[in-house]
């Protein structure tokens, strides 16, 4: 399965490697002969890239067509209404990532706030077809990494 992973690496060129895992990062210890030198690789836990939900994409397109023409009337953003209809995409992603998000301290409410920042990206993916699913997920994961780190005080 594909992973979106961010990492910061310090020098590493010796083996063997012993790994320990915390809930947010991996710490790697390198052992050199008799002497043990510890180098830490901090790897932000990656979220799986779920399969592209083409049924949700089609649902969003149908909702947008039913909302009416190409012009937004009276300041109503019909594109945004369509991508947020019944929270289909947020529910799908939450279902895929729930356990990992909870480990990071991301609640459903925080997750919705993070996704709200990606409304235009969701429009580009679902309605305009100008963004790949993998790019949409990469952007969302980047925001989750940023806000889950902020919420934990890092």
Question: Is 6 a residue whose pLDDT tops 70?
Answer: no
Give, in order, the Cα–Cα distances in Å from 49 to each of 4, 137, 140.
7, 7, 11
**Residue 134 to residue 49: CA distance in whole angstroms:** 7
pTM: 0.69
* pLDDT > 70? residue 101: yes
Average pLDDT over residues 1-20: 39
Is the pLDDT at 131 greater than 60? The verdict is yes
Instruction: Kindly write down the DSSP assignment for every residue of 102-144, as one continuous string.
Output: HHTT--HHHHHHHHHTTHHHHHIIIII--S-HHHHHHHHHHHH
Averaged pLDDT of the chain:
76
Query: At residue 9, does pLDDT exceed 70?
Result: no
- State the pLDDT confidence band at 86, using cuts at 50, 70 and 90: very high
Bridging pattern class, strands 42-48 and 35-37: unpaired
User: Among 40-44, 52-56, 79-83, 90-94, which is the least confidently predicted range?
Assistant: 40-44
Kindly indicate the confidence band of residue 47, based on its pLDDT and cuts at 50, 70 and 90. confident
C-alpha span between 64 and 71 (Å, rounded): 11
Look at residue 10 and tell me whether its pLDDT is greater than 60.
no
| Domains of the chain, residue spans | 3-45, 48-151
């Amino acid at each position: 399965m594909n992973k979106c992973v961010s990492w910061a690496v310090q020098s590493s060129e010796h083996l063997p490697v012993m790994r320990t895992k915390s809930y947010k990062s991996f710490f790697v210890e390198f052992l050199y002969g008799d002497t043990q030198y510890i180098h830490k690789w901090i790897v932000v836990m990656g979220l799986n890239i779920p399969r592209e939900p083409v049924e949700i994409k089609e649902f969003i397109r149908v909702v947008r067509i039913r909302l009416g023409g190409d012009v937004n009337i009276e300041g109503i953003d019909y594109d945004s209404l369509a991508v947020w209809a019944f929270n289909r995409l947020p529910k799908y992603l939450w279902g895929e990532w729930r356990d990992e998000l909870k480990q990071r301290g991301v609640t459903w409410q925080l997750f919705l706030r993070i996704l709200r920042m990606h409304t235009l990206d969701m429009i580009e993916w679902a309605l305009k077809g100008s963004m790949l699913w993998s790019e949409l997920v990469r952007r969302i994961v980047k925001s989750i990494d940023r806000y889950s780190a902020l919420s934990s005080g890092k």
